[in-house]
Amino acid sequence: MTGVKDHVALITGGAQGIGAGIAARFAADGAKVGVLDLNKDAAQATVDQITGIGGTAIALSADVSQRDQVQAAVDELVGEYGSLSILVNNAGVLRDNLLFKMTDDDWTMVMDVHLRGAFLCSQIAQKHMVAQKYGRIISMSSTSARGNRGQINYSTAKAGLQGLTKTLAIELGPFGITANAIAPGFIETAMTKATAERIGTTIEQMREGAAAALPVRRGGVPADIANTAAFFAGEEAGYVTGQVIYVDGGSGLH
């Protein structure tokens, strides 16, 4: 079982939540990890946790929606570790509102971070993957891709990431590169805590409500997503591409 061992992975939005969970898991499995986030100090805190238990990682600062910044971060990572073979498009933001109140800025911000960010990171990373005829690209969709009240921007972006994933799979498959997406349901992170506050509840109540409605009777944690990312990112998953796995405790089942 080789998994991600000795591969170089770039995790966007890796300073906290799901991205930090994936970075820690990949590092524990032997990958060299670039933890990219807006705030370098926050990314460094994740790196410190990884290196503190013997893993290999560096902190990278970039806004994924800015081509020059993504290019510079990828150059730094490749300069440090010599290659790039795994990309996780995970950076994300919420700007929730009902359709009739949604501003142009809130629409554009969400499209820029999720869609333009994944486009830029994938385009810049694939040059290294194509050259080495090997790569794994994983993008973070959401159960909101099915539609979600108050998230006209976010649900559109998350559905868009599924189309991006399938097109990456078609175009890059001949070069040994797979592209897959994970669609998480409720996962307890800063993002879900912020949503709880916005709708006037607590994260504890939100977790209990989610758990009661789910077949698995519990809320999700970043490690649930990291497990699935580790599968997609592993060498053994080379025949799995263009797929979307819902990691949601069964929220779509009736």
Which of the stretches 2-10, 97-105, 145-153, 179-187 binds ligand NAP when contact is defined by CB under 6 A?
Answer: 179-187
Among 26, 186, 232, 246, binds ligand NAP (CB under 6 A): 186
Residue 93 in the binding site for ligand NAP (CB under 6 A): yes
Among 7, 9, 10, 12, binds ligand NAP (CB under 6 A): 12
Contact by Cβ (8 Å): 234, 4: yes
Among 4, 10, 17, 152, binds ligand NAP (CB under 6 A): 17
The site string for ligand NAP over 115-134 (x = CB under 6 A, - otherwise) reads --x-----------------
Which positions from 62 through 81 interact with ligand NAP, judged by CB under 6 A? Answer: 63-65
Least distance to ligand NAP, CB of residue 22, Å? 9
* 172 vs 229 by CB, closer to ligand NAP: 229
Residue 46 in the binding site for ligand NAP (CB under 6 A): no
* 18 vs 152 by CB, closer to ligand NAP: 18
Among 99, 131, 170, 190, binds ligand NAP (CB under 6 A): 190
Report the C-alpha gap between 161 and 149 in whole angstroms. 19
The backbone region for 244, taken as left when phi is positive above 0, alpha when psi lies in -120 to 50, beta otherwise, is beta
Among 4, 9, 10, 18, binds ligand NAP (CB under 6 A): 18
Question: How are the residues of the chain apportioned to helix, strand and coil, as percentages rounded to the nearest 5?
Answer: 55, 15, 30
Residue 246 designated active-site: no
Which positions from 212 through 251 interact with ligand NAP, judged by CB under 6 A? Answer: none
Which of the stretches 25-33, 129-137, 170-178, 181-189 binds ligand NAP when contact is defined by CB under 6 A?
Answer: 181-189
Binding site for ligand NAP (CB under 6 A): 12-13, 15-19, 37-39, 63-65, 90-93, 113, 117, 140, 142, 184, 186-187, 189-192
- Residues designated catalytic: 154
